[in-house]
Chain A
Amino acid sequence: MFLYEKCGPLTAAHGDMRIFAPIAYPKVRHAQIVPIVHIEAFALASWFPICWHVREPRPTLVVLRSLQRDGSCQPPGSPDTATSLPLALRAYPFAVGAMNGEAAQRKLLIADAIPDQPTDVGAPIMTPEGQAGRGAQMRLRAVAAFIEAAEFTDGMTEDLCKNDLLEPWRLEFDVGSRPIVVPDLLVVRAGDFNTPKIFRFIRNFGSVAASFLGAHRISLYRAGILVQAARSAAAPPQVN
């Protein structure tokens, strides 16, 4: 998973490890593309376009936080505003979506991440009493919510792919003196929203899928904000 360069299973040995506010970690601040689940679509649609990222074995539902690969030029308020953070980043450094196999074999994974901009002294994962600290609990809630929703999210994605409802979303803009291209993104084909294919998709997945598609369509208008942010950053400074 592109958010995590190196992950390992969480063990009791991690109990003394300190974790910090999510934005203390560079990946949280700078990740351009972040995986999400359908339950956070309405919350994130006010911040970022929601689309799919082409990956194997299937596309992944994501938010696009910036046109820039280095994650700069995010919309105003992101990533400092807590409500702009997807579950995957609220869980950081605990990993989401990195678990395969049956539930019985799942392991909780933690990224080998160093907070380069700590906002405080952090807190240990485990308290001296052997309980998960509050910071760890908050992250575990985010992991739990992501995992529980992921199966349904992946099911919808698989169905959209199987029925050829996704198409490439070509993002190419001139920013300053050079073009910016964000490749490998997919959206639901606009022309298919009034076809029997969407009727069958919603009949299969219900009102949750209908709401989700609505949030996806609403979110795409945030692409303009990403372009504005990129162009503002590239504009030459005003001379008085």
Chain B
Amino acid sequence: MASNTEPIRFTAVADKQKTVWRRPKSFAIVGEISQIPLSDSELLLTSHYLPIAIDYVNDRPRVVAITNPRFQRAPAIGPNGQWLKGYLPIALRCLPFRSTPKPAENTVLEIALNLEEADEPGAPVFAADGKLSAAVNQIAALLQRLEDGKLELQRAAEKLLIADVLTPFQMTKLTSAKAAQSRSLTVDRNKFGALSNSRVAHLVRDGFLPIDLAAACIFSQRLLPMLVSVETGGAPADNRARVIHTGIDELTTAFGLDVQVDDSELFSFEQFEEVSRRYERKN
């Protein structure tokens, strides 16, 4: 295993420094990587298991899945480095290989030099004819799919950026009253809810991925721990949060019950649960 202080070193497969490869022994290093890139094809499935965020790399938004343990309500990696979530993203599934974009060459297939390897027979990187083996070819194809998907997600993230619905995560410090803002961004559901019908419709003019990305960000916020929150742009738009009047006149008359309920469009089960818990404690 690459040590806690040593980054993973990669070399181009074509350099032939490694001609035999094995799967990584564990995913313990993933927690130190903090985030991994995603393809558009795995965005929605990943949002069930890992917080989705938008990072800024080289002045471009990049959609990632957060693997930093500080951003996980439940750990993604077990004590023995085993992957605990129900889905393993492409970038991890393809280890020890990765693809790196190079301006002149599109992408370059690389292999890790210092990842601790599983105790299994190694497989050849190259076939007898000197080309990539069939297994490595498949991995290379998957990594190319990842690169293509990253680009699609980048375009979708740019649309959300232009729509001004992104906001940084906030990390509460136990030793300070002031929360720290993370570089990573997510979607502010209040800002998203305040978009006019026309503006939100134009997000999907060229495809539904911007909405998929917004939904994945919002949906996966529930995976964040208590100390990480989302900075919101003020109260929900007026037509989104309103007090409900049941109109059940018979009941209100018979029982003298005022059943006003604060109903945001995205129903808060957390509030509902809190009311339920208070009821159970009192009874």
Contacts and interface: CB of A to CB of B under 8 A. Distances in A.
Interface residues of B, number: 57
B261 A144 contact: yes
Interface stretch (B14-22, B113-121, B172-180, B210-218): B210-218
Interface string B204-235: 11011001101110110010000000000000
B88 interface: no
Nearest to A217: B44
Interface in B45-92: 45, 47-48, 86
B248 A108 contact: yes
Contacts, number: 170
Nearest to A140: B259
B254 A207 contact: no
B246 A140 contact: yes
Contacts of B275: 138, 141
Interface residues of A, number: 61
* Chain A interface mostly: helix
Given A132-B257, A134-B283, A148-B244, A211 B208 contact: no
A108 B267 CA distance: 22
B200 interface: yes
B207 to A, nearest CB: 5
Contacts of B255: 15, 126, 130-132, 136
A170 interface: no
B195 interface: yes
Interface in A137-173: 137-138, 140-145, 147-149
Interface string A212-223: 011101100110
A194 interface: yes
A208 interface: yes
A134 B247 contact: no
Interface string B241-283: 0001111111100111101010111110100110110010011
A135 B255 CA distance: 13
B27 interface: no
Given A10-B251, A46-B222, A207 B266 contact: no
24 contacts: A12-B254, A42-B266, A46-B222, A82-B273, A82-B276, A106-B247, A106-B248, A135-B279, A136-B257, A141-B272, A143-B248, A144-B259, A147-B247, A198-B204, A206-B195, A206-B197, A207-B192, A207-B193, A207-B200, A210-B200, A210-B211, A218-B48, A218-B216, A225-B86
Interface of B: 44-45, 47-48, 86, 189, 192-198, 200-205, 207-208, 211-212, 214-216, 218-219, 222, 240, 244-251, 254-257, 259, 261, 263-267, 269, 272-273, 275-276, 279, 282-283
